[in-house]
Chains A and B, each alone.
Chain A
Amino acid sequence: MKNSKYTDIKLPKDSLEQNTNTINLGPTHPATHGVFQNILKMDGERILEATSTVGYIHRAFEKIAERKALYQVTPLTDRLNYCSAPINNLGWHMTVEKLVGIEIPARVSYMRVIIMELARISDHLICNSITGVDSGAFTGFLYVMQYRELIYEIYEEICGARLTTNMGRIGGFERDFNDTVWKKLDKFLEEYPKVLDEFEELFNRNRIFIERTQGVGGISAERAMAYGFTGPNIRAAGVDYDVRVQKPYSRYEEFDFEIPIGTTGDVYDRFMVRNEEMKQSLSLIKQAIVKIKNLTGEEATKHHAVAPDFYLPEKQKVYTKMEEMIYHFKIIYGENDIPVGEVYHAVEGANGELGFYLISDGGRSAYRLHFRRPSFIYYQAYSELIKGSMLSDAIMTLSSLNLIAGELDA
């Protein structure tokens, strides 16, 4: 093995074994988590040392982004955290808007809040139900997947795609939300809270689940901050850091929501924090709908900012008129120069602070685009989190950290 300093791991004194056991928790995991590898040195069932290897799905996003014009980077950002793709898309558009200096009307911000909170719910649903599956409870996963289908239907109505949404434009949305979207949103808001309550009833006070998750994979607040944790993982450890509150974007400062925090940072706390965040997201969506209804006059009809250099013209005109087709072509290919500058914008992704560091030299595409990916930062701490625990606890810790392989290896 390459790292030879790991071969001198000694068995503890009270061990029943003769020598250490090496197990490969390999890249082909039981489906859903993604491809990362751990080589574990074990004393029977206890883990003594873990070495992680990543890069099994390295797709070179940062190098690809140097060759693509701005709109061509949006489909790339989709594939970062693919469980909540709209957050990545809207985060990227907000980065470009910050660089160029486009001001977003209020209605667009509220529509963005609705979409981002829906994406957050969709991501937390996967994470929590897979935590349940890993502890043996398959029912929660199947039940809750039905409600992700409702969210997918809403995305489909807005942008046409279910998973890799490529949603929105630089400056707003491509089309206004039509009546079907509002109806589907109302249906979701009506049906989903009961489902969430039933989901919690299955898990929160379930003795088996509590014994599997409490005290497992815990991390202290100081250690979490030293490792650069953000998002639900650090909130479960007790630090109330949320990018939506500290550096508000898309008018989050006008909304009223709470930040749930935990105490020990173990798997149970992360599960509860994510459930609570889903409830807060529902409340945010309701507030945004009310705010949109209360807008009057011209403000109540806008679905994009005025930015002819960056906002693609309407599709009906693109397909029928010559000038709009030319503008569409020019903007997609990056013929309009972007200002020289360097900007860092962070959004509160579903699993942490997703940062976009864009350096532009005034050409068609970014000179350097770096994604600050939360999953990459959490996975460093994984070997410390599972030291001394049993193999099944390691699996629970892995699924509760909400690591998405696409984001880890960008």
Chain B
Amino acid sequence: MIYNKRPVTHNTNIKLVESPGGYEGEGFGAMQLSKIVGLARKNSIWPLPFATSCCGIEFMATMGAHYDLARFGSERLAFTPRQCDVLMVMGTIAKKMAPVLKQVYIQMAEPRWVIAVGACASSGGIFDSYSVLQGIDEVIPVDVYVPGCAPRPEQILDGILRVQELVESESIRRRSSPEYQELLKSYGIQ
């Protein structure tokens, strides 16, 4: 039996995430559950790229090898809302598209976050016209706004890092709290 003749190489240049602290000993550690959950969630955010126009092309550049998005844990991009954590809305949302966006948001499972990438998604952008929704926060609650027209890939990555901060520090009970329910009710989402 011929084993692999190439010598085994181990990549020693890897960065590990730091432990969240707490009381540790031999073979056990006692730490806050919310910190562990936050740590696990923040480094494996799976985005749903809702790309409608030009910002979508900058997202493609962010996903490419130069400004790699996958190194932040967003390796698996899916287009189904059932399996994704963060909804990245990139591009102009017209009034005709708003119900579709709301439907996609409703189909996402908790916990979910929303990034509005670009000026058009944040506030309507340069298109102050009768057919463009002046910002997606008219229909869904937004967590992070990334301004720019089109924002550079570094800015989109910065937006993802801010979402990571939000994910890490979020309380486990937030999604069932009355304030959150109030927020969803104000948008008409049950």
Q: Are A and B in direct contact (Cβ within 8 Å)?
A: yes
Cross-chain contact of A145 among B65, B97, B152 (Cβ < 8 A): B65
B161 on interface, CB distance cutoff 8 Å: no
B131 on interface, CB distance cutoff 8 Å: yes
B90 to chain A: closest CB distance in Å? 9
**Given contact pairs A79-B53, A142-B64, A162-B152, A28 touches B94 in the complex (Cβ within 8 A):** no
Docked-complex contact A148 and B127, CB < 8 angstroms = no
Across the interface, which residues of B come within 8 angstroms of A83, CB to CB?
57
Docked-complex contact A142 and B56, CB < 8 angstroms = no
**Nearest chain B residue, comparing its CB with the CB of A68:** B126
Docked-complex contact A148 and B61, CB < 8 angstroms = yes
**Given contact pairs A30-B79, A35-B52, A56-B97, A145 touches B127 in the complex (Cβ within 8 A):** no
Docked-complex contact A149 and B149, CB < 8 angstroms = no
Per DSSP, are chain B's interface residues mostly helix, strand or loop, or mixed? Answer: loop
Across the interface, which residues of A come within 8 angstroms of B57, CB to CB?
82-83, 126, 163
Report the contact-size class of chain B (Cβ under 8 Å from the partner). Answer: 20 to 34
Interface string of B45-88 (1 = CB under 8 A from A): 00001111110111111001110000000000101000000000
A34 on interface, CB distance cutoff 8 Å: yes
Docked-complex contact B91 and A59, CB < 8 angstroms = no
Cross-chain contact of A59 among B50, B94, B100 (Cβ < 8 A): B94
Docked-complex contact B152 and A146, CB < 8 angstroms = no
Q: What number of A residues sit within 8 Å (CB to CB) of B?
A: 36
Question: What separation, in Å, do the CA atoms of A32 and B57 have in the docked complex?
Answer: 7
Which residues of A from 98 to 153 have beta carbons under 8 Å from B? 126, 142, 145-146, 148-149, 152
A275 on interface, CB distance cutoff 8 Å: no
Across the interface, which residues of A come within 8 angstroms of B61, CB to CB?
145, 148-149, 152, 162
**Nearest chain A residue, comparing its CB with the CB of B124:** A59
Docked-complex contact B150 and A163, CB < 8 angstroms = yes
Docked-complex contact B94 and A55, CB < 8 angstroms = yes
Across the interface, which residues of A come within 8 angstroms of B13, CB to CB?
none
Across the interface, which residues of B come within 8 angstroms of A44, CB to CB?
none
**Nearest chain A residue, comparing its CB with the CB of B100:** A27
Q: List 22 A-B contacts (CB under 8 A).
A: A31-B51, A32-B51, A32-B56, A32-B60, A35-B97, A56-B52, A56-B94, A56-B96, A56-B97, A57-B53, A57-B92, A58-B94, A59-B92, A59-B127, A63-B130, A64-B129, A76-B126, A79-B53, A126-B60, A145-B66, A162-B152, A406-B54
16 new A-B contacts, CB < 8 A, other than A28-B104, A406-B53, are A27-B100, A28-B79, A28-B100, A31-B56, A35-B97, A56-B52, A57-B94, A59-B92, A60-B129, A60-B130, A63-B129, A82-B53, A142-B64, A145-B60, A145-B65, A163-B150
